[in-house]
Amino acid sequence: MDALISKYKKADENNRLLSANRPLPPETLKSLREYYRVGLTYTSNALEGNSLTESETKVVIEDGLTIEGKPLRDHYEAVGHAKAYDYVYQITEKERLTEEDILNLHRLFYQQIDAEKAGHYRNVKVYISGSRYAVSAVSKIPEEMQKLVKWYNGNEKKLHPIELAATLHQRFVFIHPFIDGNGRVARLLMNLALLRNGFTIAIIPAILRHDYFYSLETAHTRPEVFTEFIADCVIATQLDLLRLMRDDDTVNDTVNDTVKSNVSALSKSERAVLAAISSFPDYSYEKLAEYCQLSRPTVARTIKTLQSRKYICRIGSDKTGHWKVIRKEDEE
């Protein structure tokens, strides 16, 4: 729990830095929404097996073109998700979340895939591949969804925004109210909760697919594991935005200096993994997790961050290769 509280504090500090530049110019705000419209559509669909790349997703939803050789359904998923993303921004200022909001999100996403089932709760039993837990029975879905909406509205101002968003996502998926598209709608709802409470959206990279589904499955008995995973994704997305702002000459100098300091510093886990790789470049994720006394998902996320910030790189294949340290923290 202490680790989770620490993540909340880090996210709050990042949010304070981002808020210092608000309100953003209309042109900047528009470009950011379009940037994340593509990014969130691509990653959320990729988590579910959609074959479109990020650049292809951009072409499909912004230019209305089709990609040769790619399934038609993948195009429909991209266009539908982008429409549902736009709807999220339409309801961020609403006083309360309603069932109709959730049904509309699914309807927008699923309309071109199956118009008859779009925006309607499922009427058949489903099983979740790879999960040991059953989802809600068909007869209980309406009641469970009413309880979920009531819970959200009753806790929106009581819980930290990250806990609120992660729990909403988790509870929705456990109900699994639609025949398909539940993961996409869950992530849209999660981001709606973040936006409604002053945070930016959170991207879950496709590379973390295994960690995402592992933490979600674990949440049946240890919900804090999933909340911590979402907190890491929130922080990572915040840092990406802070880096964009750091390179933007419209950001005021005082905030820019703070942003640079915040972005440059490595976390405790990042320093630990970087030091371990320096000494043991052949270590696997499992050995690094054991050596650093961290969970494997945490090590995987940390390594991705270190790679994206050019601290380390992979030489050779996953099985026979090794890690190489490109620079140390004091060489920032």
- From residue 56, give the alpha-carbon distance in Å to each of 33, 62, 77, 134: 18, 10, 13, 36
Q: 176 catalytic, yes or no?
A: yes
Label each residue of 209-227 as H, E or C.
HHHHHHHHHHCCCCHHHHH
CA angle 129, 135, 139 (to 5 degrees): 135
Q: Which of 106, 120, 176, 322 is catalytic?
A: 176
Instruction: With H, G, I as helix, E, B as strand and everything else as coil, classify residue 178.
Output: coil
Using CA atoms in the order 93, 97, 102, 108, what is the torsion angle rounded to 10 degrees? Answer: -20
Contacts with 96 (C-beta within 8 Å, 6 or more apart), sequence order? 153
DSSP state of 195: H
d(C-alpha 41, C-alpha 50), whole Å? 10
Tell me the C-alpha distance between 93 and 199, whole Å: 13
Q: Is 315 in a helix, a strand, or coil?
A: strand
Backbone angles phi, psi at 323, to 5 degrees: -90, 150
Distances (CA, A) of 17 to 21, 264, 270, 290, 324: 7, 14, 21, 34, 33
Give catalytic residue positions: 176
